[in-house]
């Protein structure tokens, strides 16, 4: 390939930003690389690495500083942020740890400003401060808030610094920024699409008044904006310091080399560790409300090519609709990065070069590429499911190469309490908590998933202290325990997540709900493992909790038997059982009890291959029920409660016999299922799903018809 580095523009380029960006895009489209050569790395690799280490440390420090300034627990304590440095055209050079979803969303926002003539019509000047939370420009949903500043050197724009964090109160129809009742953009709160919120390094007072009067409790938005601003200013200082030390030319040239070097390292990693092939896995999401039941299909075909590039095809994806369980294209892309960076590229740099090995097809008008910006995006939905499906496929590709230490099953739908109102001190409050950041971890090919351990969307996930949350949202924790039977069963079981029980306080105003999902499996098992169970929310009103407390009777601080949970047996009252957890925030009385699991991991491998001693350990620890131990894992006990090896073997043989007796050959299964399909004997929600996804021409539709051998004129009725 004959590409001269001189063909790639920049250095300190006097061209308009729009021209520079157009040239950069054209060069990549033509040559498929960011640079032909990396002369600084070639001539002095030690200096190249030392410089990057310094740059990376500066950016990490900037994020740590921002955390110290932040108000919200999620930015302060739970890793819900990322900061980075960008080239003048908006290409990501170096990012902090944190939310890998947003490796490229700020890049998209910068490019959007350039494409929309901000340089000439809005003005991009030293000291300007831009803000964006429009997910169609770059981000996931209104709570994903970006602060971006241009970096100048002697009057010339030489890059950008950006900081992003999740801010959980945005003035939406429900508190907390994420709710199942958000059906259009106009339910989702305050959007500021790439808005100049400050000049000369000062935030504009009128914008702060706008925010303060548009959201329930503005402290998190306002102070977290200052936190990000503090962070990006530190990056600006670092850039100037590094330019003083290394020279401007070196800084600018080597920044481009890091992108190309990352692209090369990414291609190399894929070629070394992932077996080439065509992989398919499917994610699911849904909405379960009385007036709207919608099933969302997120099929992912991942093609790993021998040349080290990836192609993700989502043909068959459900259409966008009037509900919040969908995502923008930038978010879908971000979820793929989140999956791939954590699963494959964890030991390479991650920046714009990461994106260059990935190509994808997301149908226009689908739930991950809505037809217009009015579609709600609060709950991401199928994009997250697609990321999970992609991760399953990556695990298969590792497995084929023998790298079992990288193989894992999946995590599914997570759930959080959302609450708003006026607390006992008369202060407005609103937000969500992050119990879901202590979800159960997926099982792996070599060990169980850890309990209460991770959040797949947040590499540093942490549920935070109960006391902190009680300060932020005045709910009283009466229990935080490990969900019983939470992990999907398997040779290695999925980890169980948190099972949190709250007592509602006597405050002037309280709305409470959870965003949750439909009653479906969302964490598929891998290679014979079972999916994680459905998270179920329990709401008990008009309770006898005051009596229980006055009598000093126990409260339901743990789950107990999942078939008869303590919250239903120990408390009297009016109980609602919300399977999946789609529970719109609504007023709730004091001394109500609210139970919510955060999320769990799925299992790996056949349950009957599980070590019986591991089953006993889980039973002794209260992580699984006696039913699970005996009936699912087939473990039998002696009179002292220890594993009886012979009886266990016999029990497992009996389970295998039962499998063979009641299963039928696939050909017979298909014949029967086809007859049901042709006769229209499908549940209503499934019919609606197929009517949508089969209504569009494409590979999925063709293969669906071929699989079931359907006549050409067949339509789901």
Shortest distance in whole angstroms from residue 309 CB to another protein: 13
One residue of 405, 547, 620, 675 binding another protein per CB under 8 A:
405
How far apart are alpha carbons 239 and 160 in whole angstroms? 10
CA angle 665, 669, 670 (to 5 degrees): 115
Q: In b/e form, how buried is each residue of 386-399, taking b as 16+ CB within 10 angstroms? A: bbbbbbbbbbbbbb
Residue (162 or 283) nearer to another protein, CB: 283
Q: Name which of 359, 311, 632 is nearest 491 in CA terms.
A: 632
DSSP H/E element including 612: helix 612-620
* Contact call for residue 699 and another protein (CB under 8 A): no
Choosing from 403, 477, 637, 714, the residue that interacts with another protein (CB under 8 A) is 403
What residues from 425 to 484 belong to the interface with another protein (CB under 8 A)?
445-447
What is the DSSP code string of 182-249?
A: --BGGGS----TTEEEEETTEE-HHHHHHHHTTSS-THHHHHHHHHHHHHHHHHHHHHHHHHHHH-HH
Shorter beta-carbon distance to another protein: residue 184 or 695: 695
Residues 588-627 that bind another protein (CB under 8 A): 604-609, 611, 625
Q: What is the side-by-side order of every strand in the sheet holding 428-432?
A: 428-432, 417-422, 509-514, 583-587
Which residue among 246, 311, 361, 399 contacts another protein (CB under 8 A)?
A: 399
By CB under 8 A, the residues from 161 to 200 that bind another protein are: none
Question: 213 or 656, CB closer to another protein?
Answer: 656
- Contact letters for another protein, residues 10-39 (x by CB under 8 A): ------------------------------
CA atoms of 565 and 576, how far apart (whole Å): 13
Q: What are phi and psi of 85, to 5 degrees?
A: -115, 140
| Tokens matching residue 514 | 């959870």
* Residue placing its CB nearer to another protein in the complex, 180 or 192: 180
Length of the chain: 717
The footprint of another protein on residues 116-155 (CB under 8 A) is none
215-234: contacts with another protein (CB under 8 A):
none
- Output the smallest distance, CB 274 to another protein, in A: 10
Contact string 486-505 vs another protein (x = CB under 8 A) = ---x-xx-------------
How many other CB atoms are there within 10 angstroms of residue 156's CB atom?
A: 12
Residue 164 forms beta bridges with which residues? 82, 146
Strands (E), 38-95: 81-86, 92-95
Instruction: Candidates 76, 108, 183, 396: give the one binding another protein (CB under 8 A).
Output: 396
Helix (H, G, I), strand (E, B) or coil at 363: coil
- C-alpha span between 342 and 181 (Å, rounded): 32
- Nearer residue to another protein within complex by CB, 185 or 264: 264
> Contacting another protein (CB under 8 A), which of 430, 518, 545, 588?
518
Q: Minimum distance between the CB of residue 405 and another protein, rounded to whole angstroms?
A: 4
Is 3 exposed, middle or buried (CB count within 10 Å of its CB: 0-12, 13-18, 19+)?
A: middle
Instruction: Give me the least distance between CB of 572 and another protein, in Å please.
Output: 18
Q: Which stretch binds another protein (CB under 8 A): 187-195, 206-214, 362-370, 520-528?
A: 520-528
Is 400 one of the binding residues for another protein (CB under 8 A)?
yes
How many whole angstroms separate alpha carbon 151 and alpha carbon 88? Answer: 8
Is the Cβ of residue 58 or residue 492 nearer to another protein in the bound state? 492
Among 212, 620, 631, 638, binds another protein (CB under 8 A): 631
CB 297 within 8 Å of CB 282: yes
What is the nearest approach in angstroms of another protein to the Cβ of residue 708? 7
Name the minimum Å distance from CB 634 to another protein: 12
Q: Number of residues in contact with another protein, rule: CB under 8 A?
A: 89
Give dist(CA 688, CA 702) in Å, integer: 18
Closer to another protein by Cβ: residue 299 or 334:
299
Radius of gyration of the chain (CA): 26
The three-state secondary structure class of 492 is strand
Report d(CA 61, CA 580) in Å as an integer: 39
Nearest distance from C-beta of residue 500 to another protein, angstroms: 15
Q: Show contacts with another protein in window 568-587 (CB under 8 A).
A: 577, 579
Nearer to another protein, 359 or 631 (CB): 631
The label of the residue with tokens 């949970």 reads 565
**Judging by DSSP bridges, how do beta strands 156-166 and 195-199 pair with one another?**
unpaired
Q: Which range of residues in 196-204, 222-230, 545-553, 703-711 is near another protein by CB under 8 A?
A: 703-711
Yes or no: say if 506 and 591 are a contact pair by the CB < 8 Å rule. Answer: yes
113 vs 607 by CB, closer to another protein = 607
Q: Which of 26, 202, 306, 549 binds another protein (CB under 8 A)?
A: 306
Q: Interaction with another protein in 312-371: which residues (CB under 8 A)? A: 347
Question: Given the complex with another protein, which of 219 and 685 has the nearer CB atom?
Answer: 685
> Which of residues 326 and 625 has its CB atom nearest to another protein in the complex?
625
- Asked whether the beta carbons of 332 and 386 are under 8 A apart, the reply is yes
Question: Are 417 and 432 in contact, with CB atoms under 8 Å apart?
Answer: yes
* Total Cβ atoms within 10 A of residue 547: 11
Least gap, CB of 631 to another protein (angstroms): 6
- Rounded to whole angstroms, the Cα distance separating 140 from 136 reads 8
The residue among 279 and 332 lying less far from another protein, judged by its C-beta, is: 279
Rounded Cα distance between 168 and 6, Å, is: 46
Site string for another protein, 647-686 (x = CB under 8 A): ---------xx-xx-xxxxxx-xx--x--xx----xxxxx
Is 477 or 704 the residue whose CB approaches another protein more closely?
Answer: 704
Residue that is written with structure tokens 């009936």 in the block = 631
Which residue's entry shows tokens 């009598």? 551
Binds another protein (CB under 8 A): choice among 162, 189, 449, 524:
524
Interaction of residue 712 with another protein, rule CB under 8 A:
no
Q: Which is nearer to another protein, 589 or 675 (CB)?
A: 675
Residues 530-559 within binding reach of another protein (CB under 8 A): 530-531, 533-536
Q: Which positions from 266 through 305 interact with another protein, judged by CB under 8 A?
A: 272-273, 275-282, 284, 286, 295
Q: Which is nearer to another protein, 236 or 264 (CB)?
A: 264
Identified binder of another protein from the candidate list 562, 575, 647, 696, rule CB under 8 A: 562
Q: Find out whether 491 and 529 touch, Cβ atoms under 8 Å.
A: yes
Task: State in angstroms the smallest separation of the CB of 628 from another protein.
Answer: 8
Distance separating alpha carbons of residues 99 and 461, to the nearest angstrom: 9
């Amino acid at each position: 390939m004959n590409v001269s580095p001189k063909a790639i523009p920049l250095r300190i380029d006097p061209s308009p930003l729009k021209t520079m960006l157009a040239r950069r895009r054209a060069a990549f489209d033509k040559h498929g690389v960011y640079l032909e050569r990396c002369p600084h790395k070639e001539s002095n690799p030690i200096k190249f690495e030392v410089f990057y280490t310094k740059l990376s440390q500066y950016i990490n420090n900037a994020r740590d500083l921002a955390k110290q300034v932040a108000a919200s627990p999620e930015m302060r304590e739970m890793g819900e942020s990322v900061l980075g440095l960008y080239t003048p055209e908006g290409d990501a050079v170096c990012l902090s740890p944190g939310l890998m979803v947003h490796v490229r969303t700020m890049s998209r926002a910068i490019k959007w400003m350039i494409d929309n003539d901000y340089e000439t019509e809005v003005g991009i000047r030293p000291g300007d401060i831009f803000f964006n939370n429009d997910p169609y420009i770059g981000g996931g949903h209104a709570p994903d808030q970006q602060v971006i500043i241009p970096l100048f050197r002697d009057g010339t724009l030489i890059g950008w610094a950006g900081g992003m964090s999740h801010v959980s109160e945005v003035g939406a129809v429900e508190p907390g920024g994420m709710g199942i009742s958000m059906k259009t953009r106009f339910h989702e709160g305050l959007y500021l699409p790439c808005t100049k919120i400050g000049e000369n390094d000062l935030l504009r007072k009128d914008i702060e008044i706008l925010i303060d009067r548009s959201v329930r409790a503005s402290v998190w938005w306002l102070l977290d904006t200052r936190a990000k601003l503090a962070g990006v200013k530190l990056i600006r200082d670092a850039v100037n310091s590094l330019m003083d030390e290394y020279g401007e030319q070196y800084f600018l040239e080597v920044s481009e080399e890091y992108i190309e070097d990352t692209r090369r390292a990414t291609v190399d990693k894929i070629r070394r560790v992932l077996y080439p092939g065509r992989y398919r896995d499917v994610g699911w999401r849904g909405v379960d409300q009385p007036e709207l039941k919608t099933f969302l299909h997120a099929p992912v075909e991942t093609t790993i090519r021998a040349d080290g590039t990836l192609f993700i095809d989502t043909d068959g994806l459900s259409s966008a609709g009037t509900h919040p369980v969908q995502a923008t294209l930038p978010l879908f892309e971000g979820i793929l990065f989140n999956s791939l960076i954590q699963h494959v590229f964890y030991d390479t740099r991650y920046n714009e070069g990461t994106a260059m090995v990935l190509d994808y097809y997301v149908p226009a008008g689908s739930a991950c590429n809505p037809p217009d910006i009015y579609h709600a995006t609060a709950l991401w939905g199928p994009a997250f499911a697609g990321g999970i499906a992609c991760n399953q496929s990556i695990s298969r590709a590792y497995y084929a190469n023998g790298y079992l230490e990288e193989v894992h099953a999946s995590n599914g739908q997570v759930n959080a309490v959302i609450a708003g109102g006026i607390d006992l001190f008369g202060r407005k409050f609103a937000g969500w908590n992050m119990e879901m950041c202590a979800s159960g971890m997926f099982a792996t090919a070599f060990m169980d998933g850890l309990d209460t351990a991770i959040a797949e969307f947040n590499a540093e996930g942490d549920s935070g202290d109960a006391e902190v949350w009680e300060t932020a949202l005045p709910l009283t924790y009466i229990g935080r325990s490990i969900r019983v039977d939470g992990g999907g069963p398997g040779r290695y079981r999925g980890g169980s997540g948190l099972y949190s029980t709250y007592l509602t306080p006597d405050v002037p105003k309280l709305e409470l709900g959870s965003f949750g999902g439909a009653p479906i499996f969302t964490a598929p098992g891998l290679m014979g493992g079972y999916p994680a169970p459905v998270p179920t929310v329990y709401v008990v009103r008009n309770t006898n909790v005051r009596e229980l407390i006055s009598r000093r009777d126990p409260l339901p601080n743990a789950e107990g038997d999942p078939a008869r949970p303590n919250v239903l047996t120990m408390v009297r009252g009016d109980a609602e059982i919300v399977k999946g957890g789609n529970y719109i925030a609504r007023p709730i009385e004091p001394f109500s009890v609210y139970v919510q699991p955060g999320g769990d991991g799925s299992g790996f491998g056949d349950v009957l291959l599980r070590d019986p001693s591991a089953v006993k350990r889980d039973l002794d620890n209260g992580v699984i029920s006696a039913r699970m131990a005996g009936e699912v894992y087939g473990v039998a006990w002696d009179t002292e409660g220890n594993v009886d090896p012979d009886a266990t073997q016999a029990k497992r043989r009996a389970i295998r016999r039962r499998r063979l007796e009641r299963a039928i050959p696939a050909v017979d299964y298909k014949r029967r299922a086809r007859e049901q399909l042709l006769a229209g004997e499908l549940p209503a929600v499934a019919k609606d799903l197929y009517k949508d996804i089969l209504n569009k021409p494409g590979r999925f539709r063709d293969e669906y018809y071929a699989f079931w051998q359907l006549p050409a004129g067949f339509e789901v009725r």
